[in-house]
């Protein structure tokens, strides 16, 4: 033990830092009985006299990134065997994987005893439902654990899952730890469950506390851990709650394997969790190779965060009484002050836990401060992903794709997804997975395919959805002020393709806008990143009130389409975008009944590398529907895709800047299609223009 390590820990102060507050049922029950102290008993088994107190992980003032890596020289190399042999081929990985797995079982998360009783599943309820026009079937399950060898403890695992009722084949499914409706859901937002069904996936939840209580003390002599031990205390290398919860998911996969009538593909079962359940999701995927994909959100210490990155929550915060029950008893050794051991003495670190998921897809998710609290240490998890990436690459998959130095590789901008099968995205929200679900489904569709949804879907219901990020809220306020200024004859509405044309932060495109529309009192009310649901919300919340334009130009829908290749004629995005545009047209007619609407077809997009026409069948089908909405009088339809792209949908040179957003040349093609209609309706442009001045992206000037 180095003097440097001992001195560092001597200065720390104690604070208990946990993730999500456990449900009431998990907090009930005595932590001691007849004077029994489980935490002390484990310390005695290990010969630990005293534990170090953990630093306050929420006090950012005591952490410094410049000194956060004192144990870098002890970081285990994920591709070096215990005997020093370098792993250079995929054929060597199973042996190395077994070494890493053994270390995690023995020292960190614990072993599952060989005598764990069997589980018998019962379907207790089957209900029919509907998710945005898609018929669904929900089954409620109870997994009865055989307690005949120790009747004093009863364990009934509670789970539930929902699938599209008329799916053409068994569907992929995402199982969430907890299943609490408030976790990551805000009023007006489309739930992740609705997103799953719309993508042709199922969704489900498993209740962790029905497997193992989320508390230490006597609770470790209850639940599945207590049942397997017949009410006796754990041994130091036996499992904690994280592995117990993962064991419950494995038994649910057993159910799917044994019951094809459930319409769930057992080879396409994913797991998701936030906070402590994010830890559990990563542990589950690492240990059970049947898990097809992991969505690991805000997992912190004990999850994706490097133990050796001393920033926020650390080993010591999980070896105290508040979190020790998640881990194996042996993990307490690394928070010990007497005899002294630290994270540097761990034989493994969290990058190797992520590597155990390879080559299967793994999506690491965080929010931002202050919403995602300081203790989660998003940077420490990013560093772990950098270190795990070589394993994905060894197995022929794609890791983060950074330079590969975990100490210096910069984190990508918030909202940017990087990587391949191992992916990273930090959303602009807080301690939740919610804002990352759309990106997750678009990403995972590259690796796990869902069967097509039935053609006989009910009409799609489109609800307005607000953008909750601060930048969008500021932009909405600015657009409301622009609307109040009035004197607008031509009202442009859409997403970033439209917004950039008339925005201050794109001066070259703004110059083109002025060249083409000055004198017609044109104003741009588009906002980047908007779906048709977001545009609908803005229109219903004041941005068109009392404007009274003579002409409205609309181009929207590409953000609902994304990059995922077409599923054919039944692709749900076709109906969603068509219904969304219809709903927007209804608002236009209600709030600006005198206006003529110029509906522009969705432009080609080639922003999915290696698959330039993957979404074009979806775009073409939507545009056919949009053309049918026009009457040639009050609703005009224009289609310029043949000028932007060739017959195969590949964009012509210079039309876009990135395969999606129009360059000045592409904007001029659009303007050339609009100007004859504007001249017909409004006459030639005047020498003066009275429209409100253009706005821009608020973040560009902050």
The CATH number that applies at residue 124 is 3.40.50.1820
Is 574 among the domain residues?
Answer: yes
Write down the pLDDT at residue 568. Answer: 76
From the CA atom positions of the chain, what is the Rg in Å?
28
The percent helix, strand, coil of the chain (3-state, each to 5) is 40, 15, 45
| Gap between the terminal Cα atoms of the chain | 48
- As for how many domains the chain has, the answer is 2
Write down the pLDDT at residue 563. Answer: 83
Locate the DSSP E strands across 192-327. Answer: 202-206, 264-274, 291-297
Write down the pLDDT at residue 32. Answer: 40
CA–CA gap between residue 518 and residue 503 (Å, rounded): 14
Give the CATH number of the domain where residue 646 resides.
3.40.50.1110
Q: Report residue 700 as tokens.
A: 């560009």
For residues 291 and 419, membership in a common domain is answered with yes
Is 27 among the domain residues?
Answer: no
Is 181 among the domain residues?
Answer: yes
Last residue of one domain, picked from the residues 379, 409, 444: 444
Write out the H or E segment, with its range, that includes residue 138.
strand 134-145
Write down the pLDDT at residue 11. Answer: 28
CA–CA gap between residue 524 and residue 482 (Å, rounded): 9
For residues 533 and 400, membership in a common domain is answered with no
Write down the pLDDT at residue 8. Answer: 33
Is 452 among the domain residues?
Answer: no
Burial of 620 (0-12, 13-18, 19+ CB in 10 A): middle
Q: Three-state DSSP class for 292?
A: strand
For residues 374 and 494, membership in a common domain is answered with no
For residues 235 and 341, membership in a common domain is answered with yes
Is 379 among the domain residues?
Answer: yes
- Is the bond preceding 339 in cis, omega lying within 30 degrees of 0? yes
For residues 413 and 494, membership in a common domain is answered with no
What tens digit of pLDDT does each residue of 234-291 get? Answer: 999 999 999 999 999 999 999 999 999 999 999 999 999 999 999 999 999 999 999 9
Low-confidence ranges of the chain (pLDDT < 50): 1-33, 180-188, 456, 458, 702
Write down the pLDDT at residue 613. Answer: 60
Give the residue from 287, 377, 303 showing the smallest Cα distance to 295. Answer: 303
Write down the pLDDT at residue 20. Answer: 32
For residues 605 and 641, membership in a common domain is answered with yes
CA–CA gap between residue 304 and residue 274 (Å, rounded): 12
CB 270 within 8 A of CB 173: yes
For residues 658 and 696, membership in a common domain is answered with yes
Write out the H or E segment, with its range, that includes residue 669.
helix 664-682
Is 301 among the domain residues?
Answer: yes
CA 616 to chain centre: 26
For residues 429 and 514, membership in a common domain is answered with no
For residues 571 and 655, membership in a common domain is answered with yes
Write down the pLDDT at residue 388. Answer: 98
Q: Report residue 372 as tokens.
A: 């995602």
Write down the pLDDT at residue 168. Answer: 87
CA–CA gap between residue 467 and residue 559 (Å, rounded): 13
Residue 117's domain spans which residues?
Answer: 98-444
Q: Three-state DSSP class for 123?
A: strand
CA–CA gap between residue 480 and residue 471 (Å, rounded): 14
Last residue of one domain, picked from the residues 444, 461, 484: 444
For residues 436 and 477, membership in a common domain is answered with no
CA–CA gap between residue 294 and residue 543 (Å, rounded): 40
Is 490 among the domain residues?
Answer: yes
Is 37 among the domain residues?
Answer: no
Share of the chain above pLDDT 70, in %: 91
Q: What is the phi/psi pair of residue 272, to 5°? A: -135, 145
Q: In sequence order, what are the beta bridge partners of 368?
A: none
For residues 440 and 344, membership in a common domain is answered with yes
For residues 493 and 424, membership in a common domain is answered with no
Write down the pLDDT at residue 27. Answer: 29
């Amino acid at each position: 033990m180095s003097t440097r390590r001992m001195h560092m820990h001597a200065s720390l102060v104690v604070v208990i830092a946990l993730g999500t507050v456990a449900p009431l049922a998990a907090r009930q029950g005595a932590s001691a009985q007849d004077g029994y102290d489980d935490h002390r008993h484990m310390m005695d088994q290990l010969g630990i006299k005293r534990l170090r107190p953990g630093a306050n992980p929420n006090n950012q003032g005591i952490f410094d990134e410049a000194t956060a890596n004192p144990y870098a020289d002890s970081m285990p190399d994920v591709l070096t065997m215990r005997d020093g042999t370098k792993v250079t081929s995929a054929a060597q990985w199973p042996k190395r994987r077994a070494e890493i797995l053994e270390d995690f079982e023995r020292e960190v998360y614990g072993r599952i005893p060989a005598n764990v009783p069997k589980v018998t599943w019962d379907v207790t309820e089957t209900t029919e439902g509907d998710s945005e026009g898609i018929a669904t079937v929900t089954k409620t399950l109870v997994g009865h654990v055989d307690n005949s060898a120790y009747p004093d403890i009863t364990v009934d695992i509670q789970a539930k899952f929902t699938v599209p009722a008329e799916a053409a084949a068994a569907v992929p499914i995402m199982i969430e730890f907890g299943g609490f409706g408030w976790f990551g859901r805000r009023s007006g937002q489309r739930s992740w469950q609705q997103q799953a069904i719309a993508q042709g996936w199922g969704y489900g939840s498993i209740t962790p506390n029905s497997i193992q209580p989320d508390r230490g003390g006597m609770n470790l002599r209850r639940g599945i851990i207590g049942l397997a031990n017949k009410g006796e205390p754990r041994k130091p290398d036996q499992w904690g709650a994280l592995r117990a919860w993962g064991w419950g998911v494995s038994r649910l996969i057993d159910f799917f394997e044994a019951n094809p009538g459930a319409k769930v593909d057992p080879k396409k079962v994913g797991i998701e969790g936030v906070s402590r359940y994010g830890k559990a999701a990563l542990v589950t995927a690492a240990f059970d190779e049947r898990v097809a994909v992991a969505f690991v959100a805000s997992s912190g210490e004990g999850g994706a965060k490097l133990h050796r990155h001393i920033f926020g929550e650390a080993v010591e915060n999980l070896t105290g009484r508040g979190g020790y029950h998640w881990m194996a008893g042996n993990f307490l050794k690394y928070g010990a002050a007497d005899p002294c051991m630290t994270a540097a003495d761990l034989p493994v670190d969290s990058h190797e836990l992520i590597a155990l998921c390879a080559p299967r897809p793994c999506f690491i998710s965080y929010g931002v401060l202050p919403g995602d609290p300081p203790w989660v240490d998003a940077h420490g998890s990013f560093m772990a992903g950098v270190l795990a990436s070589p394993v994905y690459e060894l197995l022929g998959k794609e890791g983060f794709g950074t330079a590969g130095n975990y100490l210096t590789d910069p984190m990508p901008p918030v909202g940017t997804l990087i990587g391949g099968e191992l992916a990273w995205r930090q959303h602009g929200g807080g301690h939740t997975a919610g804002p990352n679900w759309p990106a997750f489904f678009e990403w995972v569709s590259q690796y796990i395919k869902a069967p097509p949804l039935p053609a006989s879907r009910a009409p799609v219901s489109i609800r307005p959805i607000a953008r909750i990020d601060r930048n969008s809220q500021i932009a909405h306020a600015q657009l409301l002020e622009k609307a109040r200024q009035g004197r607008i004859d031509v009202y442009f509405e859409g997403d970033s393709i439209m917004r950039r044309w008339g925005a201050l932060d794109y001066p070259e495109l703004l110059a083109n806008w002025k060249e083409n529309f000055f004198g017609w009192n044109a104003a741009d009310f588009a906002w980047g990143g908007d779906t048709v649901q977001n545009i609908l919300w803005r229109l219903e919340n004041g941005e068109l009130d009392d404007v009274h334009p003579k002409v409205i130009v609309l181009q929207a829908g590409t953000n609902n389409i994304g990059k995922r290749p077409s599923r054919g004629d039944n692709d749900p995005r076709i109906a969603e975008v068509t219904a969304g545009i219809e709903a927007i047209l209804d608002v236009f007619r209600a709030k600006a009944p005198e206006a003529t609407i110029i509906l522009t077809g969705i432009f080609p997009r080639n922003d999915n590398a290696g698959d330039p026409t993957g979404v074009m069948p979806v775009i073409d089908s939507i545009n056919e529907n949009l053309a049918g909405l026009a009457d040639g009088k009050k609703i005009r339809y224009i289609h310029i895709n043949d000028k932007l792209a060739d017959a195969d949908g590949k964009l012509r040179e210079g039309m876009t800047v990135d395969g999606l957003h129009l360059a000045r040349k592409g904007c001029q093609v659009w303007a050339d299609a609009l100007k004859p209609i504007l001249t017909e309706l409004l006459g030639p442009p005047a020498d003066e223009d009275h429209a409100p001045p253009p706005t821009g992206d608020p973040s560009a000037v902050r």
